[in-house]
Amino acid sequence: MEANFKLPVDRTIDYHSNNKPITSNIHDLWDVLTRQPDEKGGTLILLPYPYIIPGGRFREIYYWDSYFTMLGLSIDGKWEIIENMIKNFSYLLHNFGHIPNGNRTYYLSRSQPPFFCLMVELLAAKKGIHILLEYLPAIEKEYAYWMDGAANLSQKNNTYRRVVLLKNGAVLNRYWDDAHTPRPEAYKEDTHLAKEMPEPKAKELYRHIRAAAESGWDFSSRWFIDPLNMVTIETTHIIPVDLNCLLFFMEEMLGNIYAGLGQSQKAEVMMQQSVQRKEAIRQFCWNEEKGFYFDYQFILQQQKKVYSLAAMYPLFFSIAAKDDATKVANVIANQFIQQGGAVTTSNHSGQQWDAPNGWAPLQWITYKGLKNYQENALAKQLMQNWLALNESVYRNTGKLMEKYNVETYGQHAGGGEYPTQDGFGWTNGIFLAMKNDD
């Protein structure tokens, strides 16, 4: 069989750290993880500029990974590759109307958490406000993608693609995928899961699985009815707190850009949208009794019960009330902080986006969210625990990993549809960002 395929080369296999200091190793890895625009491959969507891949089995860009990778690139002064990556994402937005999960043709039916605005903000902080204007058309395209169909929703037809009209008239967002077939990149796993289902149920299952892939949290008990049974996945029935905080930030940024351009009517519409979203996030996702944010199951009209680090996004974007943030920080301290960092959820489900695993992007979201509300001691503890774990694994293996077991030193992270990968773009990025944060 292999004679019929040209298998791609994993260049990270041939790279060895040779006992370099961890920061020197990361600096050298940027070149190993860089791909040129003329790289070709059957399903690869060609991009006009060089870019960074995560590493390991991942040989293409991944959307939300790239923001956290950029944070480290900025510490190393790699602004040219940062700008090239942003240009690539802008190219995808203008050519496909959205940023796909990755630059593969089989990813075109979905996106990933919309971090493009934060990438642009990062570059604008370095190069000036004109960057915001340069990428305004791309930001507008991304917002239109996520809000497609919102104007036509009614209480009778209250969902369309990624938008949901709730009972109080608020429009919030969900993860979605335009296809309802097994994922080409995980065909065997998906068809096995649906093997005894009638076709309509199988299609629904595939859509939920794909929507969870759009979330980046593939997979987590966040999306399940039964935390231990993936067949109960219900992603498209859930309003995720993290996604809606990202859309809030996009609305706020657009409003500010329009105001700066003197386009007061557009600015007012966007600011109104952001205020309504902020209020709706609190109404539907905040639980006063538990002092924590939860995803909202809009069909049953009730909050999900899974404690997850998605609850840190309202703190990361500074939209939580001070008292609410204090309560969230207490839950984080009591249920999430472990000797190696913060667990992703409090559930041990066997899925990779659950305990005992910790992931670099969520360490950063949690760390910065805590600092935004002067929870500095807890933020420092999280940072020290995470960096120490990264350094310990690096000393033992010469590698930085995609994810880590934060509960037990020396134990590998588990779960998922593939072995833990090394490389690794966003881990490298967040290590440098945390190490150099004021």
- By annotation, the residues acting in catalysis are 218, 402
H helices, E strands: number in the chain: 15, 14
As a whole number of angstroms, the distance between CA 389 and CA 189 comes to 31
Q: Give DSSP secondary structure letters for 221-260.
A: GGGBSSTT-GGGB-GGGEE-HHHHHHHHHHHHHHHHHHHH
Residue 414 contacts residue 357 (beta carbons within 8 Å): yes
- The three-state secondary structure class of 160 is strand
Burial of 14 from C-beta contacts in 10 A (0-12 / 13-18 / 19+): exposed
Taking 3-state DSSP, the helix, strand and coil percentages for the chain, each rounded to the nearest 5, stand at 55, 10, 35
C-alpha distances in angstroms, 81 versus 50, 58, 94, 379? 7, 18, 20, 30
Type of residue found at 382: L
- Distance (Å, whole) CA 17 – CA 32: 12
